[in-house]
C-alpha cells in the first residue's frame, strides 16, 4: 500500500509539474502578445497624431484658399461693375447716335438742303461721339486701375 501511495504521489507530482509547465508557456505567450499589443498601440497613437496634424494643416490650407477666392471675387466685383458701366455708356451712346441721325435726317428734310442746319446737326453728332469716347476712356482707365 505504501508503494501505491508512493506511485500516486509521483504521478500527482508529475501531473502538477506538467500543469505548471503548461501554465508557464501560456503565461509566456500571453506576455509576448501583451508586448506586441503595446507596441501596436504606440504605433497607432503616433499615426493618429500624425494624421490629426495633417488634417489641421489641410483645414488651414482650405481656409487660406477660401479667403483667396473671396479676395479674388471682391476684385472681380469692381471689374463687373466697370463692364456694366461700359454697357450703359454704349447703350447711351447708341441711343444718342440714333437720335442724332434721326434729327439730322429730319433737319435735312425740313430745311430742304439748308447747309447751315446740316452743319449744326453734324456738330451735334460729332459732340455726341466725342462725349461717348470720353466716357469710354474714363471707364477704361477705371478698369485698368482695378
42 pLDDT band, cuts 50/70/90, is very high
- Does residue 94 or residue 28 have the better pLDDT? 28
2-111 helix and 115-145 helix, angle to the nearest 10 degrees: 160
Q: Return the closest-CA partner of residue 104 out of 137, 128, 134.
A: 128
> Distance between CA atoms of 80 and 74, rounded to whole angstroms?
10
- pTM for this structure? 0.43
Interval 82-125: pLDDT, tens: 778 887 888 887 777 777 767 666 665 665 555 555 566 667 77
Which residues, 6+ apart, have CB-to-CB distance to 82 below 8 Å? Answer: 139, 142, 143, 146
* b/e map 30-49, b = 16+ CB within 10 Å: eeeeeeeeeeeeeeeeeeee
Amino acid at each position: 500500500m505504501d508503494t501505491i501511495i508512493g506511485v500516486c504521489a509521483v504521478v500527482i507530482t508529475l501531473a502538477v509539474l506538467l500543469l505548471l509547465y503548461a501554465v508557464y508557456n501560456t503565461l509566456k505567450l500571453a506576455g509576448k502578445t501583451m508586448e506586441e499589443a503595446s507596441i501596436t498601440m504606440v504605433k497607432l497613437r503616433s499615426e493618429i497624431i500624425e494624421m490629426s496634424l495633417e488634417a489641421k494643416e489641410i483645414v488651414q490650407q482650405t481656409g487660406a484658399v477660401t479667403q483667396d477666392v473671396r479676395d479674388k471675387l471682391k476684385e472681380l466685383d469692381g471689374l463687373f461693375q466697370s463692364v456694366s458701366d461700359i454697357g450703359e455708356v454704349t447703350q447711351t451712346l447708341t441711343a444718342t447716335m440714333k437720335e442724332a441721325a434721326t434729327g439730322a435726317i429730319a433737319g435735312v428734310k425740313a430745311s430742304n438742303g439748308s447747309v447751315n442746319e446740316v452743319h449744326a446737326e453734324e456738330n451735334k453728332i460729332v459732340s455726341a461721339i466725342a462725349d461717348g469716347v470720353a466716357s469710354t476712356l474714363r471707364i477704361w482707365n477705371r478698369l485698368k486701375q482695378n
